[in-house]
């Protein structure tokens, strides 16, 4: 068996052992249940280990951006699944944008990125409607070391679009705008499918800014 065949077989075997997750957490903000990150990792860790698999996570960029009167953490990760044979999958890029709520934000963002990566790779069903993981604490609530689930996928895309539009408005040259458009290209493609109205907001903001810069 080739090295590539070994890791593919291991991933397929792990996928076959994964069971749907029960919802063990509750979002008090939006009053719905969800499968927590801890439960997700407890399910995946022994199955991955049994098949010689482990994810490798690299944070390729991290920045804090202001949207209105709120600060957001924008982190980009490159995640690779590695096998005991030495073979690895091609890296997958995942962006996470969430409100800056304290020192735990970085760890929460990485945990969420890994959860989303594994959920897609292993086709894990959680039974959640949208399965976002990080609901912001209010500005007066202080820090909470336990990640909470955000409101909904639609709200998540709205927040991300607010951030992207603010970044577009801050571009000072056409080259800078083009670079930013390239940076968010993968997320924009997802947004176009999952939240077309928000995607249209980004497109209009980018077109308008480019027109201004070319005057």
Residue 3 — left, alpha, or beta (φ > 0 → left; ψ -120 to 50 → alpha)? alpha
Q: What pLDDT digit, counting tens, does each position of 30-73 carry?
A: 444 456 777 788 889 999 999 999 999 998 888 877 766 677 78
Please tell me the distance from the alpha carbon of residue 60 to that of residue 93, in angstroms, as a whole number.
9
Q: Regarding the domain delimited by 1-151, which CATH topology (the fold level of the hierarchy) does it fall under?
A: Enolase-like; domain 1 (3.30.390)
pLDDT at 11 over 90: yes
Taking alpha carbons only, the member of 207, 184, 201 closest to residue 63 is 184
Q: Is 95 helix (H, G, I), strand (E, B) or coil?
A: strand
Q: What is the structure's pLDDT at 152?
A: 47
Quick one: pLDDT at residue 63?
A: 81
Q: What is the pLDDT of residues 74-99, one digit of tens each?
A: 888 999 999 999 999 999 888 887 77
Whole-angstrom distance, CA of residue 103 vs CA of residue 108: 10
172 or 158, greater pLDDT = 172
Across 85-101, b (16+ Cβ under 10 Å) vs e yields eebebeebebbbbbbbb
* Residue 70 CB partners (closer than 8 Å, separation 6+): 99, 100, 139
Domains of the chain: which residue ranges?
1-151, 152-215
Angstrom distance (rounded) from CA 196 to CA 158: 11
- Residue 92's nearest CA partner among 130, 56, 47 is 56
């Amino acid at each position: 068996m080739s090295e590539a065949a070994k890791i593919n077989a291991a991933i397929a075997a792990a996928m076959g052992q994964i069971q749907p997750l029960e919802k063990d957490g509750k979002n008090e903000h939006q009053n719905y249940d969800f499968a927590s990150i801890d439960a997700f990792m407890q399910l995946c860790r022994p199955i991955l280990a049994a098949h010689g698999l482990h994810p490798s996570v690299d944070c390729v960029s991290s920045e804090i951006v202001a949207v209105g009167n709120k600060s957001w953490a924008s982190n980009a990760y490159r995640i690779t699944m590695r096998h005991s044979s030495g073979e690895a999958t091609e890296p997958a890029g995942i962006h996470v944008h969430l409100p800056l709520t304290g020192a735990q934000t970085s760890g929460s963002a990485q945990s969420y990125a890994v959860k989303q990566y594994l959920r897609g790779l292993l086709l894990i069903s959680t039974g959640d409607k949208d399965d976002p993981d990080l609901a912001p604490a209010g500005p007066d609530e202080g820090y909470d070391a336990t990640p909470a689930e955000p409101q909904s996928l639609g709200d998540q895309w709205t927040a991300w679009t607010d951030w992207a539009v603010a970044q577009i408005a801050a571009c000072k040259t056409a080259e800078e705008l083009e670079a930013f458009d390239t940076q968010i290209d993968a997320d924009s493609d997802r947004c176009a499918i999952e939240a077309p109205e928000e995607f249209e907001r980004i497109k209009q903001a980018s077109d308008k800014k480019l027109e201004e810069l070319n005057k």
